[in-house]
Amino acid sequence: MKQLKISKFYAVLSVLFSLLFTTCVHDQNSEYSANLIIPEQGTIPNQYIVRFKDGVVNLEKMNPSNLSRQNRPAMAEEKLTIVKSKVIEMVQDLGVKEEAILDIYAELFQGFSVILSHDQLESLLSNPNIKTIEQDMEIRLPELSIEFLSPGLRNQQTPCGITNAGGSAGGSGSSKWIWILDTGIDLDHPDLNVETNGSFAKSFVKGSKSPDDCHGHGTHCAGIVAAIDNSIGVVGVSAGARVVPVRVLGCNGSGTTSAILSGLNHIAANDEPGDVINISLGGYWGSNCATNSSYVSALTNLSNAGTLIAIAAGNSSANASLYTPACINAANLHTIASMTCAKGWSSFSNFGIPPCDWIATGSSVYSTYKGGAYATLSGTSMAAPHVAGIMHQNQSAPNQNGSVTNGGLSYKIAVR
């Protein structure tokens, strides 16, 4: 019996050694293996974002920087067509049908999002042209709690958040646009200067081509940034500035990382240095968010090109470094925590320095809403557009006027 146990022990040891050796050989022969990145929560089964290595498709001669804004959409379509042909060439031998290809990326990075079987995923991971494959993730806004709703027009108010941000200033004369990456914008709201040209105002929500807001969140953010200085409703930080809807979230406030990346690539194809993006959305990622999240290269490239970006820190009363894209740090990118009208800490706000760069009013903010209405909402979603309006006015980062202390950290109050 003792001899049998010893034999079994050596047999098991032999199997373990064999497995270890096999794994090592696999690693040594995996020079073409792409990194597989999986967020800790919210992943979508079998749905992936595939990023090419640099230079797989050479688009250097198609740089639109010397084109007028009006001529850029045609160039963007041409680039998408070129990258798509490469994508189809890459996946056709794997049995991936064209309808499984969800999005094509040609601006901030080259790649695509796609539905894959396990075997197709394994094959792509060994493709020498692939840099990373990230499992797609669902993004969902918190349930909106409308604290006040006014369906009709009221005499113009200046909400405390605007006052706390240094007051309102005229933005209608600026050639720089403010892109609202969100649920869309109410396209005919009487208190907003909305860009409605379909080449720029876009929806990346599957099954819906309209950038009109059927949720309300995006319209609320747009009003904080840039509601018109007139006799009705509210006034924004950069009053009357042109706001552009890039709809990436549906009527229920949900979307995907892959669709949001399509929205960011669309903005990159059509923006100019000095344009502003407001990103009041995000989701839990987990550890290594600031290095592994797919937003990192996209938003860093946008920031380095001179686009000014405001991002909501999140509403989970947690460390913002675990939430994407709030976790990202870049030169022209600012993550925003929330304070009250009286400049106290908002209990729902995510925290941490870094990644939080500034704080602005996010509690009980009155602004424009879908259907020509006005509403009061709370969230870091409302804090971020105050900073977006400030940056549109300043054409640079905010200035500081005071601070809010929480958890032993001092958060700078953003003003014009």
Residues with catalytic roles? 182, 217, 381
Residue type, 170: G
Tokens of 291: 């290095």
Question: Does the CA dihedral 65-110-73-61 come out positive or negative?
Answer: positive
Which value, to the nearest 10 degrees, does the dihedral of the CA atoms of residues 359, 362, 367, 368 take?
Answer: 90
In DSSP terms, 239 is beta-bridged to 170
CA 185 – CA 183 distance, rounded (Å) = 7
Tokens of 374: 């006005």
- How far are the Cα atoms of 110, 131, 288, 415 from residue 327, in angstroms, in the given order? 23, 22, 9, 22
| String of DSSP letters for 278-298 | EE---EE--TTHHHHSTHHHH
Q: Smallest Cα–Cα separation from 234: which of 367, 408, 411?
A: 367
**Residue ranges in 92-205 assigned as alpha helix (H):** 118-125, 160-164
CA 243 – CA 223 distance, rounded (Å) = 9
